[in-house]
Amino acid sequence: MRSFRYVLADVFTETPLQGNQLGVFTDARDLDDAAMQSLALELGFSESVFVLPPREGGHARIRIFTPTHELPFAGHPTLGTAFVLGAPLQLGTILLETGRGIVPVELERDASGRITFGLMTQPVPTVASFERVDELCEALGVRGSALPVEVYDNGVQHVYVALESESDVAGVTPDWTGLAASELVAALVGVNVFAGSDCRWKTRMFSPLDGVGEDAATGSAAGPLACHLARHGWVPWGERLEISQGVEIGRPSTLYATAFGTGETIERVEVGGSAVAVARGEFRIP
């Protein structure tokens, strides 16, 4: 039997048993693709990470799996892995190789040396319009969107529907069967509903095709949300947003996102937050 050690972390929170759960396998050199996918399904979290030696000048290469498939990039796995690896490496900035290139994560520490905050510079997303807005809104059970409904792709695709109030966001009850059975989200990982004002926003992310359902904290969606709001003039470019997510599923999370650019041009995207390790163990498999 082979042994593979892992760390369980809660990401985008400072409090254990909140935030988004993550499994990090710290040495995946002897795991093939099928074994990685099986272990991700065994854990059942929205994503699990498998750490490998670097190839492109980073400190480590990471592969990210949902319970059903691999992703080239995702936010909470990247941030959580930075916390897990950054502690023993004692780095100020850790460079993680992803399927969308190297993602740097700046790590802040307190006086004791404990990592308290991480800030990643995400891949700049592309933007496209979403054509089947009425059908999507019907599947979500909402009347429409206060902003144009657009798809952002930073390695993960997300579509955004703006609602009038945070209570409207909290009250969304998707038609899961309709979403999963239709072609509406066949190419999308995340359907996001959001509301808020100034620098404080509330969001929920539904992912009917990845075996999870609703996500507790979606770092890959937080950055594009900041882009979406800035591109349409709802917040200034360069304003740090505080984003609440996960309350409805008992995993409250706090994400921070900043988009830099001019007009409709996105130049840089930063997403940050905290994380905490909650367990360590090993899998023994053939």
| Catalytically annotated residues | 47
Angle at 73 between CA 69 and CA 75, to 5 degrees: 110
CA 133 to each of CA 126, 142, 213, 263: distance values in angstroms, whole numbers, following the listed order: 19, 11, 20, 24
Question: Do 5 and 39 meet the contact criterion of CB atoms below 8 Å apart?
Answer: no
How many angstroms separate the CA atoms of 276 and 272, rounded?
14
Contact 282, 23 (CB under 8 A): no
| CA gap 113, 241 in Å, rounded | 26
Structure tokens at 61: 């290469």
Distance CA 3, CA 23 (A): 15
State the DSSP H helix or E strand holding residue 194, giving kind and residue range, or none if neither: strand 190-197
Taking only Cα atoms into account, the Rg of the chain, rounded to an integer number of angstroms, comes to 18
Instruction: Give the three-state DSSP class for 39.
Output: helix
Decide: helix, strand or coil at residue 251: coil
